[in-house]
Amino acid sequence: MATGTRLRPVGDQDVRLRHRVVHGYRRAYRTAGEGPPVVLIHGIGDSSATWAELIPGLARRYTVLAPDLLGHGASDKPRADYSVAAYANGVRDLLGVLGIERATLVGHSLGGGVAMQFAYQYPELTERLVLVGAGGVGREVNPVLRAAALPGAELMLALLSRSAMRWPARLVIELMRLLDSDLGQDAPDLLGLVDALPDARSRSVFVRTLRAVVDRRGQVITMLDRCYLTQDMPTMLVWGSRDSVVPEAHAHRAHAAMPGSRLEIFDGAGHFPFHTDPARFLALVEDFIETTPPADWSAERWRELLRGGRLGTPVAEADSAYEVVVERG
């Protein structure tokens, strides 16, 4: 980490929840600090509140922006496009409204997929990537999420949100913890996501978002076909060794597909390593930013990478109908 950097004291009271209207919809975001911009993108069903322990620390050196994605947290929840690409566009538009020209992106779970999509769509706006338990690397995903993408999911979520179901749900969580299961590591955080879906509109957005990335067979999108484009983009992957939502194997798969990427595994942590050990996570992000130069994007280099591609490299898991292979165009 760079030495001699003056640290500004930042307390929880300095982290403010603000709102801006973009395209007629109210977008909520938390922000604090000064310096190079760092954007924190949460996962499905979550909100910017998931970064609460990290924002004050990061804000000592950086301008931190943590949006509530459309349909999440305190942002509006319209009937809208909740695809990964649409979320990347939403992040771009919010940065434009706030006058942020370039940023380091930190994305968790679905937010990791959004960050990767943002870097693909807007490489000129992206300085670095930190992907945490990111989606879009392989088909495997927790069976609970596959079930939540099926018809009738809204009713299932409505039942889980009832107060009468809280005690049985917590009993199951405690049992999974006693059995030392991987899902037991993540169950409290995952149950918190259900708590964040208090009404029918919130539950509808959750299901619409989930169905954009998951079906009964698992994840339906992949970033592996374009990972070679990150070879000029400083990238760090952070995973929990006991991630019950997106398996650790995905971290190694992404690391192999992303030239020059760093990989950090939090031993014993689940899908939320920044909750398990926020001090270590903060130190890693700060060190990564301070020891890597921002991406130096150029249209010529982008064309060179696209034309080179990933010759002969499989980019999707074998399917009953087809297997995708990249060939030189």
- Give tens-digit pLDDT for 233-264: 999 999 999 998 889 999 999 999 998 999 99
Question: Whole-model pTM?
Answer: 0.83
pLDDT tier at 162, thresholds 50, 70, 90: low
Percent of the chain with pLDDT over 90: 53
pLDDT tier at 308, thresholds 50, 70, 90: confident
Q: Which two tokens stand for residue 133?
A: 């338990």
Per-residue pLDDT, averaged over 12-23, amounts to 85
Class of residue 37 by CB neighbours under 10 A (exposed 0-12, middle 13-18, buried 19+):
buried
Q: Which two tokens stand for residue 270?
A: 């689940």
Is residue 204 over pLDDT 90? no
| H, E, C per residue of the chain | CCCCCCCCCCCHHHCEEEEEEECCEEEEEEEECCCCEEEEECCCCCCHHHHCCCHHHHCCCCEEEEECCCCCCCCCCCCCCCCHHHHHHHHHHHHHHHCCCCEEEEEECHHHHHHHHHHHHCHHHEEEEEEECCCCCCCCCCHHHHHHCCCCHHHHHHHHCCHHHHHHHHHHHHHHHHCCCHHHHHHHHHHHHHHCCCCHHHHHHHHHHHHCCEECCEECCCCHHHHHHHHHCCEEEEEECCCCCCCHHHHHHHHHHCCCCEEEEECCCCCCHHHHCHHHHHHHHHHHHHHCCCCCCCHHHHHHHHHHCCCCCECCCCCCCCCCECCCC
At residue 130, the pLDDT reads 98
pLDDT tier at 191, thresholds 50, 70, 90: low
pLDDT tier at 283, thresholds 50, 70, 90: very high
Class of residue 88 by CB neighbours under 10 A (exposed 0-12, middle 13-18, buried 19+):
buried
Per-residue pLDDT, averaged over 18-36, amounts to 95
At residue 60, the pLDDT reads 94
At residue 141, the pLDDT reads 74
* Higher per-residue pLDDT: 140 or 182: 140
Query: Which residue from 24, 65, 59, 63 is spatially nearest to 42, judged by alpha carbons?
Result: 65
Per-residue pLDDT, averaged over 186-205, amounts to 70
* Higher per-residue pLDDT: 165 or 189: 189
Per-residue model confidence as pLDDT tens digits over 54-110 = 999 999 999 999 999 999 999 999 999 999 999 999 999 999 999 999 999 999 999
At residue 2, the pLDDT reads 44
Backbone angles phi, psi at 308, to 5 degrees: -70, -40
Per-residue model confidence as pLDDT tens digits over 205-215 = 888 888 887 77
**Average pLDDT over the chain, rounded to whole?**
82
At residue 221, the pLDDT reads 78
Query: Which residue from 267, 238, 259, 260 is spatially nearest to 250, judged by alpha carbons?
Result: 238
At residue 16, the pLDDT reads 85
Active-site residue list = 109, 243, 271
